[in-house]
Amino acid sequence: MPIVDIHTHVYPPSYMELLKSRSTVPYVRSIPPTNSPRLFVLPSEDPPSTTSTGRPIGPEYYDISQKIAFMDTHNIDISVISLANPWLDFLHSSGAAAAAEALNNDLSATCDKFPGRLFAFGALPMSASIEEIVSVIKRLSGMKYMRGVVMGTSGLGKGLDDERLNGVWAALEETGQTVFLHPHYGLPKEVYGPTGGEEYGFVLPLALGFPLETTIAVSRMLLSGVWDRYQGLSVLLAHSGGTLPFLAGRLESCIAHDGKLLREGKIANRRTVWDVLQKNILLDAVVYSEVGLKAAVDVAGADRVLFGTDHPFFPPLEKNVEQERWPSVTTNYKAIKDAFGPGEMEKVEGVLGGNAVRLLRLEV
């Protein structure tokens, strides 16, 4: 059974040029003393209100041969690559659709260089008109290596419970494409303390802000009835659904006890989060512990959880020739193996790759 990485990012060379040309987030800048390029990407890193010095960024982000080398080192047979955050969300509406088309062509050409090893989630021009977004979705559905779209939580600027997105969900459902829902915007930095938590590096926004952002976004989709209207819409949640597996019971209980929803007739005849988790939501296995992985498997089923790495984020901090394999990856491999019993090898193989091959139709 092949090993498939469904959570693995790229910034293609053209996107890198764009990042280098900018001075607000997202941007790349070389700063002394090393003068090596650094990535400033999170909203909290926007100047002048930040003390962030960014993160190192090198060819592992844009040189596809480094992705393939990483795959070989970690025994990964197939990768489903996606543009990293914040995708094309920040582009002006006028050029966004053309930029998405160019980027998707670029991703497609990259996949074509390694047939059978690379597939992709395309990017959407979320600042463009609905018609333009839908037209990109329709075009992606005819592209050989595309299996869906990567999307942030901002939608058209007002979140994913925005009714204006109906046409987008309908087009994705109709064309059988999976939405890879990924965080970027986090929580307001005030929740991390008076300094916004910068004294703790990126720990609070990445460990907690990202998963909570995803949890809130998907809860709003559920509450607004997205999956009542689009019962075939498939959404793959980054980081094992944020905290959704843990909080699903509380979410259901709060819905069942909400007087406003009851008065508005929104409690009866709705699909529960449990039902949606088992039929529409796929969870990646990027959660770094057996406890989190077991929760993901409990709510979605072992046949709907999919291995990922988040490469090239979270590289080893200390370069050590002895230690070629990335701890961020081996931790997730170990969590998958530990979450299942000795007689459950089939489930392990499913999470490592079989589920992705089946659900994303990964044959050339």
Least CB distance from residue 41 to ligand URA, whole Å?
5
CB of 61 within 8 A of CB of 17? no
Least CB distance from residue 7 to ligand URA, whole Å?
8
Least CB distance from residue 103 to ligand URA, whole Å?
17
User: 114-144: buried (b, 16+ CB within 10 Å) or exposed (e) per residue?
Assistant: beebbbbbbbbbbbbeeebbbbbbebbbeee
Least CB distance from residue 135 to ligand URA, whole Å?
27
CB of 177 within 8 A of CB of 232? no
Q: What is the DSSP letter of 209?
A: I
Task: List phi, psi (to 5°) of 44.
Answer: -70, -10
Per rule CB under 5 A, is residue 310 in the interface with Zn ion?
Answer: yes
SS3 222: helix
As given in the structure block, the two tokens for residue 43 are 């909203």
Residue type for position 75: N
> Would you say 169 or 210 has its CB closer to Zn ion?
210
Residue 206 interacts with which of Zn ion, ligand URA, none, CB < 5 to 8 Å by class: ligand URA
> Would you say 145 or 180 has its CB closer to ligand URA?
180
Residue closest to ligand URA (Cβ): 313
As given in the structure block, the two tokens for residue 175 are 């064309």
Least CB distance from residue 183 to ligand URA, whole Å?
8
CB of 217 within 8 A of CB of 182? no
Sites of contact with ligand URA (CB under 6 A) = 9, 41, 84-85, 206, 310, 313
Per rule CB under 5 A, is residue 5 in the interface with Zn ion?
Answer: no
List all residues 6 or more positions away from 19 whose beta carbon is below 8 Å from its beta carbon.
Answer: 11, 26, 27, 28, 39
Q: What residues between 156 and 215 interact with Zn ion by CB under 5 A?
A: none
Q: Point out which span in 210-218, 277-285, 302-310, 337-345 binds Zn ion (CB under 5 A).
A: 302-310
Q: How many residues bind Zn ion (CB under 5 A)?
A: 1
Q: What is the DSSP letter of 311?
A: B
Residue closest to Zn ion (Cβ): 310
Least CB distance from residue 215 to ligand URA, whole Å?
16
> Would you say 82 or 280 has its CB closer to ligand URA?
82
> Would you say 134 or 149 has its CB closer to ligand URA?
149
Residue 288 interacts with which of Zn ion, ligand URA, none, CB < 5 to 8 Å by class: none
CB of 236 within 8 A of CB of 306? yes
Q: Point out which span in 21-29, 171-179, 307-315, 345-353 binds Zn ion (CB under 5 A).
A: 307-315
Least CB distance from residue 209 to ligand URA, whole Å?
10
Instruction: For strands 37-40 and 27-30, give the pairing.
Output: antiparallel
Query: By the criterion CB under 5 A, which residues form the site for Zn ion?
Result: 310
